[in-house]
C-alpha cells in the first residue's frame, strides 16, 4: 500500500485554500485570534471533513478521470488503489470523523455548515450538477462558501440576524462569486478533456471565447462583492483593505481581459494561477484589517 496514493485521493492541494477561508472568517469574527479550542476545531474538522468529501469525489469520478489526460494518472483510474471501494471507505470515514470533531469542539451551526459543505460538494455538485449543466460550478460554489460560514459561526455563535449575519454572508458570497472565474479559467485549459469525458463545463459547451466573456463578467461582479466587506471596517484597517482589494481585483481583471482578447491556454493558465492567491490574499487582508 502506497500511502501517497491514498493522500492523493483527498486532493491535498485544494484543502489549504478552504482552511484559509475558514480560518480567516474565524479571525475576522473574533477581531483577533479565536479561543484555541475553537480554532483547533475549525482547522481539524475542516481538514478532515474536506479530505473525506474530496476522497468521495475521487471515488465517484473514476470513469470521468479515466477519460481525461489531466486526471487519468490519478490513483483510482490508473488502478494503483484496488479495489476502488477503499477510496469510498476512506472518504466516508474521514467525513464522519471530521463532522464528529466539529460536533465535539464547535457549536451546532458551525458543525452544520461543515456537513452542508460536504453534502453540496458530493451529492449535489459531483453527482447531480456536474454531469448535467454548464452552470455546475456556479451552483456548486456554495460548498466553498460553507467554509467561510463554518469559521464565522464557530466564533460568532448561533446568530442569524444583525451585523454578524450580514458580514458572514458577505464573506460567503465572496467565495461563491470567486469560484466561477477560477474554475472556468481551468476549464478553458482542459476544454478538450471535459468534452471527451462528456462533462458540460462552460468552455466545452460554449467555447473558449464565450467562456472568457463570462469570466470577465463574473470578475466584474466579484470586485464589488469583495468591497462590501469594507462596511465592517473603520480607520486604518478600512484603508488597508480597500487598497489591497482594489489592487488585486485590478490584477485579476487584467488577467481575465488578457484571456478575453486572446482566449488561449497560456492566458487561461495565467488567469487560473492568479485567481488562487487572489482569494487567499483577500482573506489575509480581511483578517489584518479586522484586527487593526
170 closest CA partner among 116, 118, 120, 224: 224
Rounded to whole angstroms, how far apart are CA atoms 84 and 87? 6
Task: Please report, for the chain, how many H helices and E strands are present, in that order.
Answer: 14, 0
Identify the pLDDT of residue 159.
63
Q: What is the mean pLDDT of the segment spanning 85-92?
A: 97
Fold of 3-291: Farnesyl Diphosphate Synthase (1.10.600)
Entry field: residues in the chain: 292
Identify the pLDDT of residue 270.
97
The cell for 59 is: 471515488
Cis-peptide into 179, omega within 30 deg? no
Q: What is the mean pLDDT of the segment spanning 13-27?
A: 96
The model's confidence at residue 12, banded by pLDDT at 50, 70 and 90, is: very high
Q: Grid coordinates 460554449 are at which residue?
A: 206
pTM of the entire predicted model: 0.94
Res. 74: pLDDT tops 90: yes
The model's confidence at residue 157, banded by pLDDT at 50, 70 and 90, is: confident
The model's confidence at residue 223, banded by pLDDT at 50, 70 and 90, is: very high
Q: What is the mean pLDDT of the segment spanning 81-94?
A: 96
Core vs surface per residue 23-36: b (16+ CB within 10 A) or e: bbbbbbbbeeebee
Annotated domain spans of the chain: 3-291
pLDDT digits (tens, 9 = 90+) for 189-208: 998 989 988 999 999 999 99
Write phi, then psi, for 129 (nearest 5 degrees). Answer: -75, -50
Rounded to whole angstroms, how far apart are CA atoms 178 and 176? 6
Res. 161: pLDDT tops 60: no
Rounded to whole angstroms, how far apart are CA atoms 287 and 292? 9
Q: What is the mean pLDDT of the segment spanning 6-22?
A: 96
Amino acid at each position: 500500500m502506497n500511502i501517497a496514493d491514498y493522500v492523493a485521493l483527498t486532493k491535498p492541494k485544494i484543502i489549504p485554500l478552504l482552511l484559509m477561508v475558514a480560518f480567516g472568517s474565524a479571525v475576522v469574527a473574533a477581531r483577533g485570534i479565536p479561543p484555541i479550542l475553537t480554532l483547533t476545531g475549525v482547522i481539524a474538522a475542516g481538514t478532515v471533513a474536506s479530505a473525506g468529501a474530496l476522497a468521495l469525489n475521487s471515488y465517484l469520478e473514476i470513469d470521468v478521470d479515466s477519460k481525461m489526460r489531466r486526471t487519468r494518472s490519478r490513483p483510482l483510474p490508473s488502478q494503483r488503489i484496488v479495489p476502488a471501494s477503499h477510496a469510498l471507505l476512506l472518504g466516508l470515514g474521514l467525513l464522519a470523523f471530521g463532522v464528529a470533531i466539529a460536533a465535539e469542539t464547535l457549536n451546532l451551526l458551525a458543525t452544520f455548515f461543515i456537513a452542508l459543505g460536504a453534502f453540496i460538494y458530493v451529492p449535489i455538485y459531483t453527482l447531480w450538477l456536474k454531469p448535467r449543466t454548464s452552470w455546475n460550478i456556479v451552483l456548486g460554489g456554495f460548498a466553498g462558501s460553507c467554509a467561510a460560514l463554518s469559521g464565522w459561526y464557530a466564533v460568532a455563535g448561533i446568530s442569524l440576524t444583525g451585523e454578524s449575519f450580514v458580514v458572514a454572508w458577505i464573506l460567503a458570497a465572496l467565495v461563491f462569486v470567486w469560484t466561477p472565474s477560477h474554475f472556468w479559467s481551468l476549464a478553458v485549459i482542459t476544454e478538450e478533456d471535459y468534452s471527451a469525458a462528456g462533462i458540460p463545463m462552460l468552455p466545452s459547451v460554449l467555447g473558449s471565447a464565450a467562456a472568457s466573456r463570462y469570466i470577465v463578467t463574473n470578475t466584474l461582479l466579484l470586485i464589488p462583492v469583495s468591497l462590501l466587506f469594507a462596511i465592517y471596517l473603520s480607520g486604518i484597517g478600512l484603508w488597508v483593505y480597500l487598497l489591497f482589494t482594489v489592487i488585486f481585483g485590478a490584477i485579476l481583471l487584467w488577467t481575465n481581459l488578457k484571456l478575453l482578447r486572446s482566449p488561449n491556454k497560456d492566458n487561461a493558465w495565467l488567469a487560473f494561477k492568479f485567481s488562487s492567491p487572489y482569494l487567499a490574499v483577500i482573506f489575509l487582508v480581511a483578517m489584518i484589517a479586522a484586527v487593526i
